[in-house]
Structures are given as structure tokens and as C-alpha cells.
Chains A and B, each alone.
Chain A
Amino acid sequence: MSTQSPLRLGEGEQLLTGWGRTCPSLAKVVPVSTVEQVQQCIKESGPRGVLARGLGRSYGDAAQSGGACVLDLKAISTIALNASTGNVRVGAGASIHDLLLATVPAGFFVPVTAGTRQVSVGGAIAADIHGKNHHVEGSFGNHVSEIQLVDGRGEAQSLTPDDPVTRERFWATVGGMGLTGVMTEATFKMLPITSSMMSVDTERCADLDDVMSRMIERDSQYRYSVAWIDSVAATGRGVLTRGDHATADQLPAAKRATALDYGPKALASAPGLIPGGLLNKLTIRAFNEAWFRKAPKFEQGALQPISEFFHPLDFVQDWNRVYGPGGFVQYQFVVPDGAAEIIGIALRKLQSVGAPSFLTVLKRFGAANPAPLSFPQPGWTLAADVPAGIPGLATALDELDELVAAAGGRLYLAKDSRQSPEMFARTYPLLSKWRQTRDELDPTGVFTSDLARRLAL
């Protein structure tokens, strides 16, 4: 009998990265389709532990864990909608995409969606995702009434925010980046809609101050609001889009009978091999110029399909490849209203190191929820993509971190791939409380990730 080298790849072992395609690590990916299989993997876990991975849309190292057993819950995706209450029970592996296909024709929309619908329900809760409605309706966790979780001992438990016994565990799991256990199912409240179209107001704004003052003035009148900022223009001009679900009677008469039809499609796929350097200041400047010009100067009540309004990131499949083999980082921070000037400082700083960004997005957050590691807090949040290979980027972002932290802000874990453990601990003051609850759920440290190791969670 021949000896198998320990350097050879084992069964199911594969390299995993986040959406930014930086820092791959090797893990054994295990597809699971029942709660019992999840429990068995946890009970049999080795020294490198276990982590659930959804659709890999977090940008950094949250959904990967070198040497670990990484659970793929795609098969745990049952969707059970109660049309009279609007409550839906969903398997943690189901995507928002699957969920919308099942519920929009029945007249329901997800309470919160990110810029892509390729997010699993487990991932949406683990990252406590936010959307364009945060300023009025909060983040995903706000709408969840129950989570089924398998803890570090392999025991299944039901967590609700109202039960005093499970309350802390529920909120530690919301925004807990999968480190409190493996979610298998969640129940949350859907939003009733009467059409699959959005009624959208669009305004082009001359500069950053213009964008921000218009947001302060009238964001509260809209359920959804977001601004795109031209990251290349010195002025920080932008396009503000705000709106709400159109009612069936806002549609042209001919469309009313099919008001809830829903068929989102990706328009194109990024080519497999993209040379590094294709994205440079010129191409990004051209893109930003075109994106600005494409928007109407001022338009009210335009009808747009759900996917066009909410999921611009889904029009090009695998768009993350356009940044080439070096990958990219997304820098997203929040600062309180009193530190609004940091938005402009950050844009200029990224410009000064020559870090061009396609989709730079500015949004206002409303109230935070009780989850200790949830990102949103009242104020401004800015998100910008930056190619990872830019010289001077590490220092520039460290300097921005310092400004953000000093202003009482913080970074979004689902986007982060580079902050220091000190920065994280300083900006999430409820970390020690979260750790306590996590230790109750996972006393032996079964659940870990590359992000958890990097940030010493």
C-alpha cells in the first residue's frame, strides 16, 4: 500500500475567497442538506473548526476559513410563505434571488435587500445586511422573528428576539458573521406589494454638498434612497435616486393585469480572463462620466423594474473579475452626522492615491439595532471599490480608519478585508459583550473564519 502525501489535496478541498478575490485559503467544502448533517459535521469537527458559507458575496475573508470544514447549505432552501400574515420561513441556504422569484408574484418583497440578490438568507442575517431603506426600516435583523441555529455543541436551538432567554443569542447571531453557529432556517416579515415595479425619482447633483443637503432635506419622505457619487470628478457630483414600490394603479392600464410579473436577468457576463491594468483611471473616468450622463437631470415617478432599482450589481455576472487577478477591496464605513466632512475627505484621499472606483455609493443610515456587531448606526455611510494592487493604498486606508474611528464611526465586516484588530475592537464597543454570548453558544471555539483570526474575534 502506498503512502498518500500530506501535501496532496484531500477530497472536497478547494480554495475559497470572498467577492474581492484576495487572500485565498484552502478548506474542505461539505454540502449539507439536513439539520442532522450540520450537527454531525459540528460534532466531528477537527482542530480547524467549521464555518457556514453562503454565496460568497462578502468582499473579504468572512466566508472562508483555512483548513476548516466549510458547510455549503444551498440544499437547505425551503421557502414557506404565509400570505395572510406576510411571514416567511426560509432555509438559510436560499438566496434572496430564490426568495423574490417565489414571493414577488404573490405580492411580497423582502424587508431589506443589498445591491445584489445573490445573498443567502443565512448570509443576510450573519452580516445584518442593509439596503436603501435603512434610514426608515433598519437592517435585515430588525425584521427577523426567529432563527434556527445549530450551536457549537451541535445542538439545534430556536432564537427569538422577544424571549428573554434567547434574546442575547439572537442578537449575537445577527451580524455575528457566522461565528455563533450554523443558521439553518429563519422567519421574517415580508413587505406587501401590489406591483413588481418601482416608482423612482432621480436627481443629478452638482457636487457632494448638493448631494448631501438634498439627502438631509428629503430622504425621510422616501422608503428607499441612495446616491451614486462620481469618484473621479473633483467635485464629487452624484446622482440621487429615491423611490418606493409602485402600486398597481400607478402602472399603465395594459400592465395592471400582470403587475406582479417578475423575471430578472443578468445582461452579460464578465469575460473569464481580464488582463490586469484594464481598469485604470481613464476607463473608470469614462465609466463614471457615462453613468452620470445616463441619469436624467431631474425625473419623478419613473417606473423601473425591481432588479434595475435594487440590484445594479447583478446585471453583469462575475463583475468582480473586472479588477483582474489582483482582486479588489471595498472600503465601507459609517460616520455620525456630526462628522459628515469625512465623506469628502475619504473621496479626496482615495483620489489622491489614484484609487479609482466604479460604484461609489453614499447613503444615510437610521437607528441601529441591538446586535453588538451590526454595522449600521445613524449617520452617513460611503462604499467604494478599490483595486487591491494600488501602491500606497494600505497607508491611505489606515489613515482613513483613524479618522473614522476618531469620529465614532466604523467599518462594515462584510466588506472588510484589511482593518487591524485594534481598529475593530476600538470601533465596536460591544465586542466583549458579543464575545460572552458567543462563548456560551460555542464554548470550545468550533466556529472560526479567516476574518475571525485576522481580527482576533
Chain B
Amino acid sequence: MTEKKEYKVIGTRPIRHDGVDKVTGRALYGADFQMTGLLHGRVLRSPHAHARIVSIDTSRAEAYPGVKGVATAQDLPDAEDRIADLGEGAVNLKYLCDNILASDKVLYKGHAVAAVAATSPHIAEEACTLIDVEYEVLPPVLEVRQAMEADAPLLHETLKTTSMGETADEPSNVASHIQHQLGDPEKGFAEADIVVERDFVTGTVHQGYIEPHNATAHFNQDGQLTIWCSTQGAFTVREQVAEILQYPISKIKVVPMEIGGGFGGKISVYIKPVAALLAKKTGKPVKVLMNRADVFEGTGPTPASYVRVKMGATKEGKITAAEAYLAFEAGAYPGAPVGPGAMCIFAPYNIENVIIDGYDVVVNKPKTAPYRAPGAPNAAFGSESVVDEIAEKLGIDPLEIRLRNGAKEGDRRADGPVHPRIGCIETVETAKAHPHYTAPNGQKHHGRGVASGYWFNIGLESSVTINVNADGTINLIEGSTDIGGTRSSIAMQAAEVLGIPAESVNPSVVDTNSVGYTAVTGGSRTTYATGYAAYEAAQDVKRKMIARAAKLWEVDEDNVQFADGEFSCINGKEEQISFRDLCGRLGQTGGPVVGSGTVNPGGAGGAYATHIVDVAVDEETGKVEILRYTAVQDAGRAIHPSYVEGQIQGGAVQGIGWALNEEYIYNDEGTMTNASFLDYRMPTCLDLPMIDAVIVEVPNPGHPYGVRGVGEVPIVPPMAAIANAIYDAIGIRMTELPMSPDRLLKAMGKI
């Protein structure tokens, strides 16, 4: 590991800047928003998973007392197959619009069909029942392999498979096929002494953020549209609403309220354009809130998938070849994260011969949305289970086999990129030496499992402005939604540059009119990229303050140095002034100092994690108890270790839920039968041990302080780690998620 630098602020644990407001209930969330004359909107949703809309008659709803406006897809601008570039890649505008309000077909139960604005939420809800929609019900297809069959019901008559640049002639539910190849897989398997191949199935799971989606929209008389909402990215809301409504971005202001969790699920827009449509129709501000069932049925979960993994190894445990087949459910419209799944699946290993095929397949479920390392957990469940099986069959310790094959700087990932300095090996070594791994594990029906995971992390654009205050503090203006303590982790990077305490930085997350473009809080990018922008803005402040000191002392700027929060003159004069005191003299040295930083950095630096879990299996009921959990992760540099630990714990817990109980349960008609937190079973604190988070620091060369994104990779290893622990406990390989009690009973032959 590289030598640790000495920092004053970085690596400490100050109280988060938004903490007091949140724990005292003062923080303002979207649902808290109030305004004079506010109307309440409600969305009517499809009762069918697949149907053609024959007609929509809104007249009875419009006549209902208290109703001020009704909107349908007819109110959206025509969007025939236009492609919109929304920063994160091209998006088919018709798909985007149809997911907001269905025009010709409904493609999942819960698909938005119409919306009502009324003087109270109850009236809006009642009025929705008065909208007459005639449907021609079509057979739904709810599972990826069935959807890929030639005679499957088609969701989109115009969708044709694209495969490596070629487009098929016939329509299909397979939107695209991707392939990555490295070396000669056939030769690699021929060299293997042992080959393991298994099929895996994972369920549809939701991010489960606690705060439902919300949006309030208002048009001023001059056509200026303002949207107050919960989002992971105010600028992406502005872009999506502009495209959907065909309205200029210069006339849209998005105000991000506090966010009650997102995990990727609050990047896509759902009710924000609807609130805007209703506001336009009624001339009043309109607030639309989802309830929990709306969230489950009407917003994007992460895909269910079918994964097949084949790996070969020599007797000595060298992995010679790997093959993966990934079929992911996109939901109603194309866009499953099969690409990221393919990028991550074998990334913890240096394997010379690899072939990966990925399929993006539409089915009659909500269009999937990002969820923490989207695609990687589905893929890693397969690969990390197979690695475990190879290790077991060869009689090699499962962490030892990871060390023997571990990816290092200079190794090539199957999809192309060469690894820069990474901490894969270091997480495995740390796990292997951890007291958890060396503790006895002998009790009957108890088992221990391990798994590793990778997420590439992203950079993208961020902007930060710093305004220097006369009292030596700074106001830091940023555009990144703070989901996991990033106000603090960003502020601390500016504080480090300027030699001031974290408490002397006042960070604000502001609206789209008040800060430079900033991409979404996603891809584990915020502490990395917006932190980088804060570093640059603070450097800008530092340069300007040096100029002020030089002016004050009448020396050249080259003669002023800055260290530990003190400016001093290094040539001739014996002058010294603190950052704080110089802040008080800005007026007399030229006026206010404002620093800015904008970045679009390329060196995000991938993150690795290795998890250890102990389980107890109740052989009579099939219930799995998590006894002990240790999550080791390379954070590059942990700016605020408490929030790094928080991210690691949160990711591990969401992975535990995914592994054991979480799934969308559908009936034959395509209705989700468990659209509530009662029956969609996320783990509670009573289902979990303390998650022991262990931070490894292998600094990222692509960031001034070595930061790597930390938010996503911790959800990648848990499913396979738990499956491997269950195998250790009862000798059965579980290959379907969730590994719920009934599935365990079946696997054990009890039912």
C-alpha cells in the first residue's frame, strides 16, 4: 500500500452539515412543500400488464366538483421515435414520453394513463375512478427467457434487435445483444482441469428508498416553469422535462428538495412532467405525490435476470477461461443495465480468455431504473458462486483462489479497459487476515461464505462555486444532491485546501439557475467528481487570496506562500496573515473573492470489495439468519470515514435483502401482489447483525486526494457470499434469488 499523506481535515469525522436539520425534523422534503393556491395531482394507472388503449374518456372526471384539469398523453408533444441525447446516452423520446403517460399501449400494471389536478388529494383520487379507459387486454410476458422466445407476445411492434452494429429484420422483445471477447476462450477451457457451469436466476428488486417520489410544478405568467422535487439530479430533471414537454431549458428551473433516499431510482422522471402538464393546464401550482404502491408499480426497479456462467481452472487454481451469458429484463422499454453487468462480471480476476454475451430484453414490468451498481450484482451472483465452487472442488481456500487470480494494475478487463492502480488484491488480503475469517466456523447448519465485487465508478461533470466570507468561513455552492453525507465529504476537500476546519464551510445544494451544470448523484461519483470540483474551486480561492496577500504586502505573488491556513512572505518581508484574518480585509484589497471549479474527470478509479458472512440455516423452516458480516472495501481515500462506513453497511444490507427475501411477486395476469413494505420484505434492524465495515485505502491516482467512489460496490458481493455460506452450512448450491425460506425448503427436499 502507498504511503499515507498527512491531512488535517480529510480522514476526520466532523458532524455532517445537514445533520441537525435532519434529526430535528426541520429539513424540507418535497412532500413538505406548500404554496398558496396549490392543487393536488393524482395519476390513474393501468390495471393491466399489457393492453391496447382503445379510448380514454375524461369527461366525467372533468365534471367532478373540485377538479381543475385532466391530462393524458394527448397533451404531450408528438414524439414519434425521436432520439434525445440526455447526457447519459441517447434515449428514444417516444419511449420516454410513453412511460410518463401511455399513448397507444400500456405495458405494465401501474403504467400511468391519465392524471387529474383537483383542490384536494381525495378529490383527485376520486376523480381518477371517473376516467373511463377502454382497454383491449393482451397477453403479458413477464420473464426474460419467455420474452426471448420467437412466439412471445411482442411489446413493441417496431423494436428490432441490434447486435454489434447490425439490426434484425423481424421485431423482437430483444432490444440489443452485446458481446465482449478476450483471448481464445475455447483454448482456455481446453487448458482447464476443471470446468464448472451453472445457471442463475435473480428476481426483480426495488431500491426501496423511504421517501416516495414527489413533484410540485408551477408556471409563472411569463412562462417560467419551476419544479420542486426529490431527485438525484436537478439538471437531469431539467433535461428530461425539457425533452418530454419540448420546452426550452432556459425556461425551466428545478429546485432539489432534500431527498429521502434514491439509490439510482430517482434519476428517471415519472410525475415531474405530469405535474408540469397539470400546472400548465390549470394555471396553478400542482403537487403530485406517489404512495408506496405507486412507487413499486410505477417506478423502475432493477432487473430480474437469467445468468449462465462457465469457468475453467487448472489444478493449481489458475482460472484459464470464463464465459457468461447475461439476459436482463429491461421492463417495458429498452435499457437494462446489461452493459455494466458485462463490464463487472469477471473484473476481480485476471483471466486471459473470456467471452461475455449480454441481452437487453423488454417484458411487461415497469421500465427498470438504476439501482446501486446496476447490473453488477446480478452478474456477480453467478460468477462469484462459480468461483466458490471451483475453489471448493479443488480444495483451495476461496480467498486464496481470489489472490492467485486477482486483478492488478495493467491487467485488462474483458470489455477492453486496462486497470489503473486498483485495490482488488488488498481487499482480499485484508479479508483473509480479518479475525472474522480466522474465527472458528464449525457449528451444525452454520456456514461461512465469501465473495468479491467490482464497480467501475464514473466521473462526469460537476461545478462548485466558493464565496469567501469576511469571518473566515466559506459558502460552498454545489449542484449534487446529498444522499449519503456528500455535503460534508465535498466541504472537507475544500477545507483541506484552505487549511480551515470543516465547520467553516457552509455547503448548499442549490437549484439549476444557481450553480454550473452538475450531473446526477450516481455512479458513486459525487465525493469523487464534485469533491474534485470543490478542490479546484478552493485552489482558485487560494490563488486569489495569495494575490490579495501580495497586494497587502506590496510584493510579487511568487513571494507569498500558503501553508496550514497561514499566508506568509518568503522573500524579504517578515509578513504573516491567517486565512481568516485575510478574509476580513478583502474589501480593502479589491473586493469579494469568489472561486470556481468545474470538472469532467476521466480517472474515476474502480472500486473493489470482498465480503465475509456467517449464516445459520433453520433446516426445518428454511429460514436463513445472518450471524456475522464483514465488508472490506477499497475507498481510495476515505474523506469522512463514518460516511464511507455508512455506504458500505447500507450496500451490504440491501444486498442481504436482495439475497434472502426481496422480490416482485407477480400473478399470472402480471399484477404485483406484494406492492407494500409489508410484503416486499426488506431487512429490518432485527434481521441484521452489526455490519463490520473495513476500509482499505489504495489511493486513486485520478483524484488529488485519491478518492474512489464507495456507494455502489458494497451491494455487489452479498448475494454470492450468502449463497456460498448457505452451501457451507447445508451442502446445497442455491442458484435462484431470493433464497427465501420456501426455496430453501424445496432445495432441501422438504417440500
A-B interaction: no
